[in-house]
């Protein structure tokens, strides 16, 4: 049971990409997690597993149970039921070992107002066996020039970047980031995304709580959509998006009239509609190729082809709205 | 599993504690109100009283001591009380309020180390205050160093323990920094009254004297004054202090919340 050799071959995982690498021991495994505060059930029967080297997104509306879920994973809260393993460690019983291998950025964490950025970084550095280089890390997060500044003089975005730096300072094998890009301006957000990708490329597993669709779409290999304490969907961002609209659409102008049956009998196609001179085909998979090849075989050329993919945002809105319909009274 | 555990042991606990302690000390240096109040004010009062001719006269109403002499243990108790009851719980509750303790709870280092570092920093300030009071009164105002040094140290250590326990208890029950200020104001001024800071306990009615001996600062003054003049501290004072340390220490441990 050695963990360190996995880190070395972890970058190889990225070549396969996507969700295809579930065969390995998961970095994070959550099974039937349940947590309530008094009579309010925050999380109910949540199960998922995160593969090593993966960027796993947890998405959902405010109060859906995202933060409670990750707080159980990092040992800040004790689950009422269910099991959690992070690299084989139990967050409740193996706290010290767990915190050596997991780096955390909490949604609301402050530091003493009158400590300097460098002093905070140097202090957190001593907490870990094999810490990152402080200068390098500060530079990567764009706070290198701030080492002598008091924490209270930092802008919200700079405080956020310090918080992300502290999540990475112990060279964690799993990093949990809760609303990492909240308060960052668009440029800083993009810088942070690039950094997260670099960190992943070094073999670190990342669990990302967010409600920025663009962020989840850009970074996450897979996304769990949580609403009202339940996981309502778990897929790749593209997979979720495809589900939202029943797939993607191809819109084109045919060079000549053709029989619609030509397209409707293709496995990839679910619907064919006419929109003036244009034809709109809805379907899944390699839709564009299938449509163009079929038309070509019939001697028809597709002009002005436009592929329209549903976004993760469409999926999010649709899936969370579906749950809003009153199926059962909420207690 | 054993090799994985060996790998995940915190790197250098001492270095980590040292780093936390250094940062807590820096914060005291940058927000010096507590240090100034506890060390500066007590030294100032000591010097002013030392310069007053009438305060240097022994008085039969003060058990044959001079007013200056009875104020030495009172100022020591004042410094210890102020730091333990105001400047110890203040930062701890603020750290809890701001999520600083919560953030530390997800590192390999226990959040309790911040508490330990705070205690260590405040203990250093108390040590400095006691040293300055003793050195100034011996060097400039003709006093002798404590006749029973062992008894003196025991009395000071027990006083510190008792007041730390009460301060931690305040930190445990106070939900906000505002509440700390309220609780402290309600607790500190009566305790200072019974220590004799405003009016000598010896001149109070007997019932007040008895009450004083059972208050933490009153007991501290009793325990410290005897060894200064060569006697071992009275058992009652030591027992009262030890009881405060144990009871409030237990309550603090029982009710302290990290978030």
- A234 and A271 both lie in a single domain: no
**What tens digit of pLDDT does each residue of A34-43 get?**
999 988 889 9
Question: Cβ contacts of residue A151 below 8 Å, gap of 6+?
Answer: A110, A111, A112, A113, A114, A115, A116, A117, A120, A159, A162
Q: What is the pTM of this model?
A: 0.80
Q: How far is B25 from chain A (nearest CA, A)?
A: 11
The whole-number average pLDDT for the span B18-27 is 96
Q: Which residues contact B2 (CB under 8 A, 6 or more apart)?
A: none
Question: What is the domain range of residue A298?
Answer: 248-308
- Confidence category of residue A327, pLDDT binned at 50, 70, 90: very low
Same domain membership, residue A293 and residue A229: no
Residue B242 has pLDDT above 90, yes or no: yes
> Which whole number is the average pLDDT over A270-288?
86
Do the chains contact at A99 and B30, CB–CB below 8 Å?
no
Query: Which neighbouring-strand residues pair with A177?
Result: A105, A208
The token pair that represents B246 in the structure block? 């144990």
Provide the Cα torsion A139, A142, A145, A146; round to 10°. -110
Cα gap A31→A290, rounded to integer Å: 40
Q: Do B15 and A122 touch (CB under 8 A)?
A: no
User: For A41-70, what is the mean pLDDT?
Assistant: 91
Residue B63 has a pLDDT of 80
Q: Are A254 and A203 part of one and the same domain?
A: no
A24 pLDDT band, cuts 50/70/90, is low
Nearest to B8 among A97, A106, A112 (CB): A97
A183 within some domain = yes
Same domain, A82 and A206: yes
Residue, of A130 and B121, whose pLDDT is higher: B121
Closest residue by Cα to residue A57 from A70, A46, A75:
A70
What is the DSSP-derived secondary structure letter of residue A133?
P
- The chain-wide mean pLDDT, for chain B, equals 90
Residues A235 and A254 in one domain: no
* pLDDT value of residue A316: 79
Inter-residue contact A32 to A42 (CB < 8 Å): no
Any A CB within 8 A of B103 CB:
yes
Contact B66, B200 (CB under 8 A): no
Residue A318 lies in a domain: no
Closest Cα in chain B, distance from residue A200 (Å): 21
Scan residues 184-223 of B and list those with Cβ closer than 8 Å to A: none
pLDDT in tens, A253-265: 999 888 888 898 8
- How many whole angstroms separate alpha carbon A231 and alpha carbon A222? 13
3-state secondary structure of A159: helix
Chain B CB within 8 Å of residue A97 CB: yes
Number of inter-chain CB pairs under 8 A, A vs B:
98
Q: Which residue of B has its CA nearest to A126?
A: B16
Averaged pLDDT score across all residues of chain A: 84
Question: Which residues, numbered 46 to 85 in chain B, qualify as contacts with chain A under a Cβ-Cβ cut-off of 8 Å?
Answer: none
Using the Cβ of B3 and the Cβ atoms of chain A, whether some distance falls under 8 Å is answered with yes
Confidence (pLDDT) at A63: 83
Q: So what's the ipTM on this one?
A: 0.86
Chain A hits for B27, Cβ within 8 Å: 112, 114-115
Give the best residue of A68, A72, A100 to mutate against chain B (max B CB count within 10 A): A100
Closest CA to B220 of B43, B72, B69: B72
Nearest Cα residue in chain B from A119: B23
A5 pLDDT above the threshold of 70: no
**CB contact residues (below 8 A), chain B span 81-100, against chain A:** 91, 95, 98-100
pLDDT band (50, 70, 90) for residue A282: confident
Q: Give yes or no: residues A58 and A179 share one domain.
A: yes
Per-residue DSSP letter, A44: E
CB contact under 8 A, A128 and B108: yes
What is the reported pLDDT for A133? 92
Q: What is the DSSP code (8-state) at residue A149? A: S
* Angstroms from B8 CA to nearest CA on chain A: 5
pLDDT at A7 over 60: no
Is B223 or A156 the better-scoring residue by pLDDT? B223
pLDDT of residue B8: 45
Q: Which residues of A touch B103 (CB under 8 A)?
A: 104, 106, 109-111, 166
The Cα A256–Cα A270 span in angstroms is 22
Amino acid A49: pLDDT: 94
CATH of the domain at A197: 3.40.50.300
Mean pLDDT of A92-119: 90
Q: What is the pLDDT of residue A324?
A: 60
| Closest in B10, B19, B100 to A100, CB measured | B10
Q: How much is the average pLDDT of B59-83?
A: 90
**Into how many domains does chain A fold?**
2
A73 interfacial to chain B (CB closer than 8 Å)? no
pLDDT(A317) > 90: no
Cβ-Cβ contacts under 8 Å for A37 (sequence gap 6 or more): none
Contact status, residue A83 vs residue A32, Cβ threshold 8 Å: yes
Residue B224 structure tokens: 């410290």
Q: How confident is the model at residue A330 (pLDDT cuts 50, 70, 90)?
A: very low
Question: Under an 8 A CB cutoff, do B102 and A99 touch?
Answer: no
| Predicted pLDDT of residue B12 | 55
pLDDT at A300 exceeding the cut of 80: yes
So what's the pLDDT on residue A171?
Answer: 92
Confidence check: pLDDT of B148 > 80? yes
Q: How far apart are CA A240 and CA A217, in angstroms?
A: 10
Of A4, A101, A114, the CB nearest to B30: A114
pLDDT score recorded for residue B134: 95
Which contacts (CB < 8 Å, 24+ apart) does range B244-247 have?
B244/B162, B244/B163, B244/B165, B244/B166, B244/B216, B244/B219, B245/B158, B245/B161, B245/B162, B245/B164, B245/B165, B246/B165, B247/B165
What are the residues whose beta carbons fall under 8 Å from the beta carbon of B124, sequence distance 6 or more? B25
Chain B CB contacts of A77 under 8 Å are none
Same domain, A174 and A268: no
- Pair A227, A254 in one domain: no
Our CA-based measurement puts residue B254 at a distance from the nearest CA of chain A, in whole angstroms, of 19
Report yes or no: B23 at the A interface, CB cutoff 8 Å.
Answer: yes
Tell me which of A223-232, A301-310, B96-105, B158-167 is least confident. Answer: A301-310
Region A15-42 average pLDDT: 75
Mutation choice for A interface testing from B98, B105, B107, B118 by most A CBs within 10 A: B107
| Whether residue A52 sits in one domain with residue A9 | yes
For residue range B156-192, list pLDDT tens digits in order: 999 999 999 999 999 999 999 999 999 998 999 999 9
Residue A156: which pLDDT band, with cuts at 50, 70 and 90?
A: confident
Q: What is the pLDDT of residue A220?
A: 94
Residue A1 pLDDT exceeds 70 = no
B182 touches chain A (CB under 8 A): no
If you average pLDDT over residues A122-126, what whole number do you get? Answer: 94
Q: Which residues of chain B have a CB within 8 Å of the CB of A112?
A: 23, 27, 91, 95, 100
Q: Are residues A173 and A261 in the same domain?
A: no
Q: Average pLDDT of A18-24? A: 49
Distance from CA of B210 to the nearest CA of A (A): 43
CB proximity B8 to A under 8 Å: yes
**pLDDT band (50, 70, 90) for residue A284:** confident
Quote the pLDDT of residue A10.
39
Query: Which pairing describes strands A248-254 and A205-210: parallel, antiparallel, or unpaired?
Result: unpaired
A115 contact B CB<8A: yes
pLDDT value at position A185? 86
A6 falls in which pLDDT band (50, 70, 90)? very low
Same-domain status, A167 and A302: no
> What value does the mean pLDDT take over residues A163-171?
93
For residues B17-40, give the mean pLDDT.
93
A96 close contact with B: CB closer than 8 A: yes
The domain spans of chain B are 13-255
- The residue in chain A having the minimum alpha-carbon distance to the alpha carbon of residue B94 is A112
Tell me what pLDDT residue B138 has: 92
d(Cα A174, Cα B171) in Å, to the nearest integer?
34
Which DSSP string do the residues of A83-131 spell out, in sequence order?
EEEETTB-TTTSHHHHHHHEEEE-SS----TTSBHHHHHHHHHTTSSSP
- Which of A225, A241, A257 is where one domain is finished? A241
A110 and chain B in contact, CB less than 8 A: yes
Contact A127 B16 (CB under 8 A): yes
Contact across the interface for A130 and B11, Cβ inside 8 Å: yes
What confidence score (pLDDT) does residue B78 get? 95
- What CATH number has the domain bearing residue A284? 3.30.70.100
- Mean of pLDDT values over B26-47: 92
User: For residue A9, what pLDDT band results from cuts at 50, 70 and 90?
Assistant: very low
**Predicted pLDDT of residue B7:** 46
**Model confidence at A244: pLDDT above 90:** no
A232 and A271 housed in the same domain: no
Share of chain B above pLDDT 90, in %: 68
């Amino acid at each position: 049971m050695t963990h360190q050799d996995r880190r070395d071959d972890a970058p190889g995982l990225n070549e396969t990409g996507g969700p295809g690498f579930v065969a390995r021991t998961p970095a994070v495994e959550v099974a039937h997690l349940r947590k309530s505060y008094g009579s309010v059930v925050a999380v109910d029967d949540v199960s998922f597993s995160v593969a090593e080297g993966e960027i796993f997104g947890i998405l959902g509306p405010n109060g859906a149970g995202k933060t409670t879920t990750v707080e159980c994973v990092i040992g800040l809260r004790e689950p009422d039921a269910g099991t959690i393993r992070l690299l084989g460690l139990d967050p409740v019983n193996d706290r010290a070992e767990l915190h050596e291998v997991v780096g955390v950025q909490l949604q609301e964490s402050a530091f003493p107002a009158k400590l300097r950025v460098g002093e905070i970084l140097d202090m957190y550095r001593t907490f870990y066996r094999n810490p990152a280089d402080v200068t390098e890390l500060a530079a990567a997060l764009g706070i290198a020039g701030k080492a002598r500044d008091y924490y209270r003089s930092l802008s919200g975005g700079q405080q956020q970047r310090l918080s992300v730096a502290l999540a990475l300072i112990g060279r964690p094998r799993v990093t949990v980031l809760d609303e990492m890009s909240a308060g960052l301006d668009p440029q800083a957000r993009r810088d942070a995304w690039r950094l997260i990708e670099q960190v992943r490329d070094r073999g670190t597993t990342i669990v990302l709580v967010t409600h920025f669709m663009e962020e989840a779409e850009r970074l996450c290999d897979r996304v769990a959509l949580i609403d009202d304490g339940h996981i309502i969907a778990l897929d790749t961002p593209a997979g979720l998006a495809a589900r939202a609209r029943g797939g993607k659409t191809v819109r084109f102008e045919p060079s000549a009239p053709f029989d619609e049956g030509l397209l409707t009998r293709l496995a990839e196609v679910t619907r064919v509609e006419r929109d003036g001179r244009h034809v709109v085909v809805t379907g899944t998979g390699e839709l564009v190729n299938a449509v163009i090849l079929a038309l070509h075989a019939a001697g028809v050329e597709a002009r002005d082809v436009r592929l329209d993919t549903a976004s993760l945002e469409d999926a999010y809105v649709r899936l969370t709205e579906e749950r809003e319909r009153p199926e059962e009274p909420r207690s | 599993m054993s090799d994985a555990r060996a790998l995940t042991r915190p790197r250098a606990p001492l270095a980590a504690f040292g780093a936390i302690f250094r940062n807590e000390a820096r914060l005291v240096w940058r927000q010096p109100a507590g240090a100034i109040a506890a060390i500066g004010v007590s030294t100032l009062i000591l010097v002013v009283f030392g310069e007053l001719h009438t305060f240097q006269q022994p008085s039969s109403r003060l058990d044959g001591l001079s007013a200056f002499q009875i104020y030495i243990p009172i100022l020591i108790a004042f410094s210890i009380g102020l730091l333990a009851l105001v400047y110890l719980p203040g930062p701890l509750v603020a750290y809890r309020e701001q999520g600083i303790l919560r953030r530390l709870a997800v590192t390999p280092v226990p959040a309790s180390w911040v508490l330990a570092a705070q205690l260590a920093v405040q203990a250093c300030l108390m040590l400095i205050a006691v040293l300055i009071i003793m050195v100034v009164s011996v060097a400039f105002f003709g006093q002798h160093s404590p006749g029973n040094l062992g008894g003196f140290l025991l009395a000071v250590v027990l006083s510190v323990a008792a007041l730390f326990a009460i301060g931690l208890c305040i930190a445990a029950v106070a939900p906000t920094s505002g509440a700390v200020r309220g609780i402290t104001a309600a607790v500190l001024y009566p305790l200072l009254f019974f220590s004799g800071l405003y009016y000598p306990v010896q001149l109070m009615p007997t019932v007040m004297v008895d009450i004083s001996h059972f208050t933490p600062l009153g007991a501290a003054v009793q325990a410290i004054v005897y060894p200064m003049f060569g006697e071992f501290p009275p058992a009652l004072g030591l027992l009262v202090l030890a009881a405060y340390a144990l009871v409030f220490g237990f309550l603090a441990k029982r009710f302290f919340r990290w978030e």
